[in-house]
Structure 1
């Protein structure tokens, strides 16, 4: 019999280890609730949600759906939807609840870190200022740091983690706000606890009381939503410190403050969002448990007083919440009564909890084997070894039934999967046959269709080519007609003006009544218009020559700076204006280019005349540079005239184009410049960065003498 008992002890120890791990998984519940779903209402709530249009009502329904599906697979979907709609409506309460759930579930997942910090927490940080949720973003960060500290077991990695956290705190400390300060005090104390535990020291919580008490005092002034959560986190550590110090008075004070903060939170938040399916009483279990533990250091009467307060609170619930409360009550009761050496009463409460488990009124409760084990210990303590053995045997039966239930569920799932696969296979076989017939028919149809399509494609391709060619020729004809009309209009206008002047003033000169001074002036006007007419005809001839040129120009080595100096002096002498400075920026050494001297002179003359025409005052700068890396000569003409709009900087290089139709000119100058540049293997363009006036940049290949 004794050997059997030892075997039972060993088996129970192994099973209790497994259930301990299951118990730990419950800590991921954001609200600390049991994970049993309420067997109601999800469908009706979804129907109401589909009909609801008001954003506030939709958030209320999503909160209810989250509460009734707590612990179920579809809870995460409602949480994400709650977050999205709360973000859109800037509802801080909905954001707070949804982000709390997300952070608690994923705080230790490294791959989630970016989304936690950069998306969810940033979302509430952007709108929390001045609201009851102010400080929420810092609390979520505090929770993430807390989870990382508590889940890191490797000593070296833990040391590096602590160093990193402290460096971040130190960098932030000079300008930290009150929420960041609480975060620093809370987690600094927690890191010290881990370090002292690693050194084998005792009373590790007691020594951190000053840090946590300071954080506690600061958090008392926090807004309503965040105060409850900050105090709850700090309480879990501070209460342990006061229990180690056996300071029951302070323990009682912080517990009372925490309970009142939770009651205030639930009372005020219920005005906006009632949340009838939210299970709240479990949040008070830790507070009363710590009070009961602390009261044991004072007196049995005080311990019983705290236990009865806890009992009354848990039994005040109604409906399905009462069963949940009884689970906590019976478990806490038998553990408390065991410590008070009232084994018979402890056994009674243990039996009540076992009865709830076996009648299916404790869904989701994971510490089942521990309850049977504790009952066996209690029976052993009261000298009932046979009943103790029965309790251990019952524990093994329960364990077997749980394993068998899991096995049956898996087998049933596999059987259903097999049936589905078999039906799918039959369906696939029938579908394959029908598809084969359809495939053969489709192939035949496709061959016919391809043949017809190829025929029509070739015909259509020929037709499109003819249409495109006709369209191109039509466009060319229109462009030619337009250019012809533009050319005739421009030539007629440009020739008529100087001819009219020549004709008119010639008649005046014939008149004997004309004074000698007037004759001289009229002769100058006739000479000027003759020059203008000659220039127009020269430009037309040059454009015609270059347009019809089929062979490359004969290029030679030309000293560019000399040409630049000559053309600038010619402009200054013939067309110079008093209010304009004519400037040269040329290299000291000669600059050679592989070009055509006459056409280069013509290009420079056109650019300088163009600058002179549109500049009333200021300066005209002709510069030349040799870029030996690119093997190019860069010539630029900059003026301080009226400038050229950005959208017209390509337009002006077209034939017969002028920005101002009332100014003298034939619209050929810049077109001729670009034509010359291309024939000399160069390029001309306007500097788009010039804001005052205009700057033309002309580049041609460098000569062989520049090395």
Structure 2
């Protein structure tokens, strides 16, 4: 009878009739709460808008504070976009008895309000609020309150994520994750909010592996939450819609997935679609899971129709996906030879990229503003610390001075008593002079130390700005250069045979120089990744012949007339090694390109040998070129070092090769005993040491 006064039964669908019958017969608020939760879990989101207030009132009457907090979190999520309503929910949560869960719920609701403001306000207001949050975080006095620190830092992350994507955001996201994982209660809602936000940011930024890892965390959280709900009697609660979003996003980031994982997640999506009309309708209307699946499997002919259709659709929330979808469309059109569609998609993609470059320029400008403001805040903080330090030094100096006077007086009195006044006076004078000299030396040392710290900080900031500029310019130049190559090839392909023959050599020159520029850009980006220690190593078993064939085919077109390239083990039995295929090919291609560049006549030989216990393999690249002087055998591995300034390149190939070899626990050296040209030796482990 208690629940019957609150709920109108006629407003709900017939599928929950049996639950409403039980609810009608419930004798206590606790029984009503359990049944209402099951009804809530069976209803749609729109149906629950009328039920949430009733559910909260029943939880209050039952004295179940945990249920009240849970319902307030649900209501706060439902009001995303309405910060006034969310503020009312926050005030209600703050009025409940304090506990670890209550405090974390308050933090969660405050961050929901920040998310609403970040989504639905203009960039100037977001910039202002972000700087205020950054100022509060940088100048906070209570560094032991984990929730307060998390709220301040993650507020900065939310505003940064809605305006720019930078290394600063990456740093703050990692710090936020550590704070969330260290919370005493470990509220699922906070972790869910963080990983959902992080997955979106990394997906938009093209950081596929990080995005997939974030979604894996989300799936684990869903499994844990469902397990707890089942244990508490909520047998109808499920997160199928949320799982579908995670699996779809993971397929979107298929470069970070193995073929087996692609199959597994696609099959899970299809299984969810069989259970949910909503999911099935989404798949049928957008075809996004099918597109990602086909592109991951390189089934371009099957992906092409859906891609052509979806790129012309206005899917809610798909603005960030448009460039990615057009890149897939270009890739599929190239693979299938559909030149008309390729031309149309290139034109559309160029327009999108033009807008993207403009937006990225604005982002970089805002990022520089933020870096400047952060630096200003740090300077202010350092000035405060310096003033405090000076006050302490002044106090210490006063204490030392008073102590010295007291000691001197006591010493003189002792000398008077011992009738050694004159000698004591001389000693006191000498002590005072020594003290003054020490003070002068201390002051000189402190000034020198401060100057060195200032110079070091300035150098570090300059180095960071230089690295950010190089990375930004390298990344931004790749797309336009690739577009130049694509358009050049399209122009030549669209001409008749007569004009094609006449213009083909110019097209080849454009393609060659484009390839050279891209190679230099890739070298710069690779060296940047190596500097940041971002280059990942993914080992697997691979055929040695396959590695050598791929490397030789990559440089075969650049051989000089009359120069032959030979694989010495062509007629011998192939073997498999355990290593990172991509990194080994990268080193072999660099060494072969170096040989091709300096060999005008003769032969280039690629060979390999196993050591005595077959635990290491040594690749050798031998040429009959001009050779390398013995005194230059180590200098050539320095960055930007080039023995011949007239040859193309920026002098990064050999340094990159040596660094990559080091990551593989190996080395790259010049064989100084070979004098008919140059021979480089590349040695790495070739077995799985974990077995």
Q: TM-score, normalised by structure 1?
A: 0.38
Larger radius of gyration: 1
- Higher RCO (C-alpha 8 Å, min separation 6): 1
